[in-house]
Structure 1
């Protein structure tokens, strides 16, 4: 049976227009979306939630995407796709060496980005060494304690952290 829970994407980009575009588009493609305008806010979100994948901008104020990725990799192994206007091979190579799973250059096609997200998620699930997700079933109700979510019939329900 295919897991019908929508994957969660954390978008880290200082440009409001890009965050809105990605959020609307990815929601339409079947993803839940978390938004962050800074590296500091993103680290806070990572501590509170468990996104399935991160879309990370390179050029951000205060802490750039490469520095964020390097620090994030010390604590998390969440698949990450860089999204940047920077097209230099040196930067792409550095991002991949630091642990990025892919690198997409702006401007980009939403269809291509979505396909890349799905491909990275497929590979990360196949290569994952995590234990299978714990689920509890009770009739039409399925609970996912690790995600702090449940599903009743066709509706996903998320619970806030306490």
Structure 2
């Protein structure tokens, strides 16, 4: 029998648990009593009314779970403010840190701080990166961000209807901490 004659394995991966089953198990593991069911037509999960003590405990668990991401987001905001980089849309969503819309000049400053070399078409005497176009700054960030953060990626897109702005996507807290370290040195 040759390698091409070898039958394919017949085992299959078990299906992942449904979102309601996963939530039910997590609540149970935390000692919380709550009825969890699938909503009609698979469009969501319903949680039955919680006992007030269980609701407070669930709120504490959520805050504890997001505390590190919130702390990291706050530190990132502070270091960026120190460099005069305005990130008004910086927020934590679903455990990830979204940087949000940023002026092209601020994004260019961030790219330079991460080691990007500005284009050589600058006017003499102008601050490097000032007046750079959005596409150029996006390319600078695409190139420099992974190097500065040890492989992390930052989704960057040009705001079509808002010239002068880029949209910076979300990063996980670990990549955000690496970004902070890169900006500290």
Give the TM-score of the pair, scaled to structure 1: 0.28
**TM (normalized to structure 2)?**
0.26
Question: Is the radius of gyration larger for structure 1 or structure 2?
Answer: 2
Q: Name the structure with the higher strand share.
A: 1
